[in-house]
Structure formats: C-alpha cells, structure tokens
Amino acid sequence: MAFQVDHDERRKEILTKALRLIGERGYEQVTYQQIADICGLARTSLYKYYKNKREIFDQALMRMVSNIGDDFQQTVSSNPDLSVVEKIHLIVTQTIDIMYKNPPLLQTIVEYLISMRRREEPVDRKIRRHTIGFHRLLTNLVREGIAKGELRQMDCTLASEMLYALLETATLRITLIEGTSREQLIKMCGFALEGMKAE
C-alpha cells in the first residue's frame, strides 16, 4: 500500500518548524535549504509547498495570528459575565503575555518589517492583512461597550486604533528595552481604558 501524505498537515508542520527556526536565528540568517533540512525534506520537495522563504514566513505569521485570534474570540465568548471593559483588559493582557512568551520571535518580526520598509515595500498593507481580525475584535468590543452604556460615546474605529497603538508601543518596548515591566505596560493600557468609560 502506498503511503499517503497529508499535504495540509505537511504544510502546517513546515510553517511551525520554520517559524521556530526563524524565531531562534533571525529571518536573514535562515536559508530556504535550512528550512528544508529541519523539515526533513529535499529542497525540491519543499518547492511543492512554498516557493521561497518569504512565502513560508508570511504564511507562518498568518497562521500564528489566526490561531491567536481564535484564542481571543474564545476568551471573549467563554467569559460572558465580564463587562466589556474587563473583556478588553483581558485581551490586552493576553496580547502582552504572548509578546513576553517569545521575545526573539517578536524581535525577528520587527526586524523583518523594518527591512521591508527600507526596501520601500508596502509594510502598512502587510500589517493590516495580519491584524485585521484583531482590529475587528477591538472595534466590536468598543461598539458593544457604547451600546451597553459602559463606554462613553466615541468613534469606535479611532478608539480601537488607540488601543492597538498602545500595543504597538508595548511591542517596541519589549523588543528594544531590556527589563521592560509587564505590569507597567498592562497598567498603561488600563489607564487608557479608564478614560474610555462612561461617566
């Protein structure tokens, strides 16, 4: 009997192993051949799944962000008794904890985006594509908070952008400033949330 390869599972395995390798060594330091090696594939076999290292990294990031988004949705839906402010605070805390979980990968992602910017590639479009689900979740929570009278009247999109900008700041601090306090970052976001509450 011929051995059947589950190509979807193989793609997931490639993305998981590649992301781990790139997170450990940095994007520029990892070659396509090294990804093939760590996956136990010939280079020609890897081409059947992904045409180059950039496609692998982009797809790996998309998968990671999608999984995180699913976790966030689960967090919100499994805590129906929390207020909207508490839900947002929980999501913000969860996001910051994810950043602290793997600083080398976070640094690799930041460096990758900076290198794209230097090459004058459309970084903003790539970031939006990777974070659209997160933006939508924050916007919907803000809209829900206003409808329930928990949050004051405001532009929902602008409010979610402000929260997202605070998390971008947290990303840079964790990446660049050694010893950045997790608690301080969470308090900073909490302070912004307090200002959004209805009187």
- Residues in Cβ contact with 129 at an 8 Å cutoff, skipping those fewer than 6 apart: 62
Mean pLDDT for the chain? Answer: 90
| Residue pLDDT, tens place only, 87-120 | 999 999 999 999 999 888 888 988 888 888 888 8
pLDDT at residue number 4: 61
pLDDT at residue number 36: 96
Q: CA nearest 192: which of 92, 98, 76?
A: 92
| Residue pLDDT, tens place only, 17-65 | 999 999 999 999 999 999 999 999 999 999 999 999 999 999 999 888 8
Q: Is the pLDDT of residue 84 over 60?
A: yes
DSSP state of 4: P
Cα separation, 136 vs 138, whole angstroms = 6
Q: Is the pLDDT of residue 131 over 70?
A: yes
Helix, strand or coil, per DSSP, at residue 42? coil
pLDDT at residue number 94: 93
pTM assigned to the model: 0.84
- Where do the H-state alpha helices sit in the chain? 7-25, 32-38, 43-47, 53-77, 84-101, 103-118, 123-147, 156-176, 182-196
DSSP state of 150: S
Give the Cβ contact number of residue 26 at 10 Å: 15
For the record, the structure tokens of 176 come out as: 């660049």
State the burial class of residue 131 (Cβ atoms within 10 Å of its Cβ: 0-12, 13-18, 19+): middle
Of the ranges 25-39, 73-87, 138-152, which one carries the lowest mean pLDDT score? 73-87
Say if CB 24 and CB 109 are below 8 A apart: no
pLDDT at residue number 1: 44
Q: What percent of the chain has pLDDT over 90?
A: 66
**Which domains are present in the chain?**
79-196 (1.10.357.10)
Q: Is the pLDDT of residue 2 over 50?
A: no
Of the ranges 18-32, 127-141, 144-158, which one carries the lowest mean pLDDT score? 127-141
pLDDT at residue number 117: 86
Q: Is the pLDDT of residue 66 over 50?
A: yes
DSSP state of 6: -
Say if CB 84 and CB 148 are below 8 A apart: yes
Cα separation, 174 vs 178, whole angstroms = 7
Amino acid at 96: I
Say if CB 155 and CB 142 are below 8 A apart: no
Q: Is the pLDDT of residue 132 over 90?
A: no
Mean pLDDT of the region 72-89: 91
Say if CB 95 and CB 106 are below 8 A apart: no
